[in-house]
Amino acid sequence: MVNENLVKDVVKEPYKYGFVTDIETEKIAKGLNEDIIKLISQKKEEPKYLLDFRLKAFKKWQKMKEPDWAGLGYKQIDYQDIIYYSAPKQKEKISSLDEVDPKLLETFDKLGIPLTEQKKLTNVAVDAVFDSVSIATTFREELAEHGVIFCSISEAVKNHSDLIEKYLGTVVPASDNYFAALNSAVFSDGSFVYIPKGVTCPMDLSSYFRINSGDSGQFERTLIIAEESSSVSYLEGCTAPMFDTNTLHAAVVELIALDDASIKYSTVQNWYAGDEEGIGGIFNFVTKRGKCLGKRSKISWSQVETGSAITWKYPSCLLLGEESVGEFYSVALTNNLQQADTGTKMIHIGPKTKSTIVSKGISAGNSINSYRGLVKMGTKAKGSRNYSQCDSMLIGDQASANTFPYIKSQQPNSEIEHEASTCRISEDQLFYLQSRGIEFEEAVSMMVSGFCRDVFNQLPMEFAAEADKLLALKLEGSVG
Amino acid sequence: MQSKMKESDPILEVENLYASTDNLPILKGVSLTVYPGEIHAIMGRNGCGKSTLSKIIAGHPSYNITNGDIKFLGENINSLEPEERAQSGIFLGFQYPIEIPGVSNLEFLRVSTNARRKFLNKEELDTFDFEELVKEKLEIVKMDHAFLSRSVNQGFSGGEKKRNEILQMALLEPKIAILDETDSGLDIDALRIVASGIKKISNAQTGIILITHYQRLLDEIEPHYVHVMSDGQIIKTGESDLALELEKKGYEWTDNFIKEN
């Protein structure tokens, strides 16, 4: 049918972040063993407890099996064929942004994340991570005035070792799963955030992850701690060049919210997705989890997942504190041969805890888009509530959408509500909009946007606009 | 009076049109010319091709024109996209208006109005100016402002959907409006509102094609011409009294015309 092809044209969009920065890098040898881990730890001048943490994780990882329950189809990963540390060569000590290699600054400029004093974004502080290392963090002094710590995790290990030792691995233990264990053994860089008691972070914090090298994996680690009555909004963006090989990205993110604290964590994930035939693209195997440790604490995840060949990601909340709140708002768009298996776990442990899940999956091309989620009410979660809504939209007739909700309740005095729907953009709907003068591409984009509205409303302002644009771009193709 | 109208150029010319869907012929040589200011009614049994004719004029992708031409303001539009036809002033009022979840009616109306205005080289309207315009047009169909904040047609009653169609017609100010069974599913009050809306919007420059089964709409809007369709052809054309006769004698009566032909 004519329209079928049109839809295919529309969802094709050239990936505009696919360039490679030509820069001299320091890479270690391929492969994974204790010596490699010791080398990474040594390069980062880490204290002994951290090396021990890594080595313990590696031992565990060696005994674990790569999970296959998600039913994702991909070529076996050869973990000995990956470079675990790759960093652009820089001067030993960089005291200001002016000393950063102009090529790196230019790269982030091109990605829309200018870092220099003159050009930097005014309302958001940025930590820019390039392959295995953090390049720069803006607004550090301004944040420090409020007692907010925002730096790379490597720096935090050096300067705030007590916090790292206290919290690292407490939300996602090294033995949690195969990829978390791998990350714990080899993690390179990532962001660290600490919001002191009673402080509302004066600006949004943001990390931008850029994979540049084709043969190295990226294993970033992020830790955010919100002390009593503090709050922070954190944004995360990611892109990578177009390579015809697959690159492994296995991150771990840990969030900790104490009494009355709130953390809002938003992601726009646009890793390279591979080409139309499914060649290349990032394997995005990520463990993200937040612990609502304190009373009335709140952790809210929102994500817009558009990239990666494979996404395997379940940002979750452990609701321990009484009356704590967990939220998960997700839009996942897959096209061509992309596979996404994403969702959340809401583990209600404390009484009167509340969680909300809103998931919107859009599948086009030959892609597979699955929601997988667990809602669990523990024995002490009396008076707790969950509401879940999982909607899928299909574009074309080759794409597939699945919903796998798991519900476990050990507490009779709790409520769990689950709603699910599947819809298709029909030819009749498109014709209706077109017959009112609306261009075909705009019609598709309007409907997708309308479908995602509930989630976009949860994103920080600038991000919402960006997400809308990103989806429109993915859906618009080269015309217009 | 009619001869005076014909001094101007026709808005729509359908010339010996053959069309099919999935290789199944639906239209088998339809010809129809509409001049400014004219109101045409097309009647006929279910499945005779009335709705198909309206969809083909609007550019529905499921149908292929196998022979013949459609001309709008003298230009052949056979290969134009539906949105191009709409922008240039062809309006199709749907028999079953489509529900579009998540897309706000207000935003939909604004984008579509602006697409038409852009074509007419008129300034596009921002949200505030559009609010003003739409308020005025809501009066015509006696619709409540609350309709604007809902998703397009979602959860609307049959009558509300039809009024929403006429609201769109009022905003788009088409050169020609083809209204496909706009009267079906309406109670008497709603029918009057819709009919008076259509009359208010149309003028000496616009053409209207009413596709209907019933005399009751034609009591409200008197057509200049009535065409009877059967098996993909117009088998008889007359003036408004033809509809009355048809109402009295039923479609069986028209079967004789086919035999005569």
Specify the amino acid at residue B189: D
Strand partners, A128: A136, A208
pLDDT of the residue at A108: 78
For testing contact with chain A, the best of B51, B65, B83, B117 (most A CBs within 10 A): B83
Nearest CA in chain B to A445: B103
Contact list, A423 vs chain B (CB under 8 Å): 101
CA distance A2 to chain B (A): 7
Split at pLDDT 50, 70, 90, the class of A197 is very high
Cα distance between residue A444 and residue A12, in whole Å: 13
Find which of A111-120, A395-404, B246-255 is predicted with most confidence, using mean pLDDT.
A395-404
Q: Please check whether residue A377 lies inside any domain of the structure.
A: yes
Q: B112–A431: do the CB atoms touch at under 8 Å? A: no
**E strands along A196-280, which residues?**
204-210, 221-226, 231-239, 246-249, 252-257, 262-269
pLDDT of the residue at A477: 38
Is residue A266 within 8 Å of A205, Cβ to Cβ?
no
| Of residues B164 and A365, more confidently modeled | B164
CA distance A311 to chain B (A): 26
Report DSSP letters for chain B, one per residue: -HHHHTTSPPSEEEEEEEEEETTEEEEEEEEEEE-TT-EEEEEE-TTSSHHHHHHHHHT-TT-EEEEEEEEETTEE-TT--HHHHHHHTEEEE-SSPPPEEEEEHHHHHHHHHHHHHHHTTPPPP-HHHHHHHHHHHHHHHT--GGGGGSEETTT--HHHHHHHHHHHHHHH--SEEEEESTTTT--HHHHHHHHHHHHHH--TT-EEEEE-S-HHHHHHS--SEEEEEETTEEEEEE-HHHHHHHHHH-THHHHHHHHH-
What is the tens place of the pLDDT at every residue in A225-258?
999 999 999 988 877 777 777 788 899 999 999 9
**Residue among A427, A428, A438 minimizing CB distance to B111:** A438
Nearest partner of B44 among B210, B161, B261, judged by Cα: B210
pLDDT of the residue at A93: 58
Q: Please check whether residue A477 lies inside any domain of the structure.
A: no
**pLDDT for A98 beyond 80:** no
pLDDT of the residue at A54: 96
**Residue among A427, A434, A449 minimizing CB distance to B86:** A434
CA distance A440 to chain B (A): 8
Q: Please check whether residue A32 lies inside any domain of the structure.
A: yes
Q: What is the pTM for the complete model shown?
A: 0.81
Out of A175-179, A241-245, A457-461, B217-221, pick the least confident. Answer: A241-245
What is the tens place of the pLDDT at every residue in A5-15?
444 444 455 67
Nearest partner of B34 among B70, B61, B87, judged by Cα: B70
Contact list, A450 vs chain B (CB under 8 Å): 100-104, 151
Nearest CA in chain B to A455: B102
Nearest CA in chain B to A2: B61
What is the tens place of the pLDDT at every residue in B141-166?
999 999 999 999 999 999 999 999 99
Q: Is the dihedral of CA A67, A73, A79, A82 positive or negative?
A: negative
Q: Please check whether residue A66 lies inside any domain of the structure.
A: yes
pLDDT of the residue at A480: 22
Residues of A with CB under 8 A from a CB of B: 1-3, 423, 426-429, 431-440, 442, 446-447, 449-453
Which ranges of A91-167 does DSSP label H, i.e. alpha helix?
A: 102-110, 140-145, 153-159, 161-167
pLDDT of the residue at A473: 63
- Dihedral through CA A183, CA A188, CA A189, CA A190, nearest 10? -10
Q: Please check whether residue A468 lies inside any domain of the structure.
A: no
Q: Please check whether residue A386 lies inside any domain of the structure.
A: yes
pLDDT of the residue at A479: 24
Number of residue pairs across A and B with CB atoms under 8 Å? Answer: 81
What is the tens place of the pLDDT at every residue in A21-60?
777 777 888 889 999 999 999 988 999 999 999 999 999 9
Nearest partner of B63 among B72, B50, B53, judged by Cα: B53
What residue ranges of chain B have pLDDT lower than 70? 1-6, 258-261
Find the domain containing A141 and state its range. Answer: 14-437
Nearest partner of B207 among B62, B2, B28, B33, judged by Cα: B33
CA distance B130 to chain A (A): 16
What is the tens place of the pLDDT at every residue in A284-318?
899 999 999 999 999 999 998 888 888 999 999 99
**Residue among B83, B100, B103 minimizing CB distance to A434:** B83
pLDDT of the residue at A133: 74
Cα distance between residue A166 and residue A183, in whole Å: 18
Split at pLDDT 50, 70, 90, the class of A378 is very high
Q: Please check whether residue A64 lies inside any domain of the structure.
A: yes
What is the tally of structural domains in chain A?
1
Q: Please check whether residue A9 lies inside any domain of the structure.
A: no
Two tokens, residue A329: 């708002």
What is the tens place of the pLDDT at every residue in A56-72?
999 999 999 988 887 77
Is residue B160 within 8 Å of B189, Cβ to Cβ?
no
What is the tens place of the pLDDT at every residue in A265-285?
998 888 777 777 778 888 889
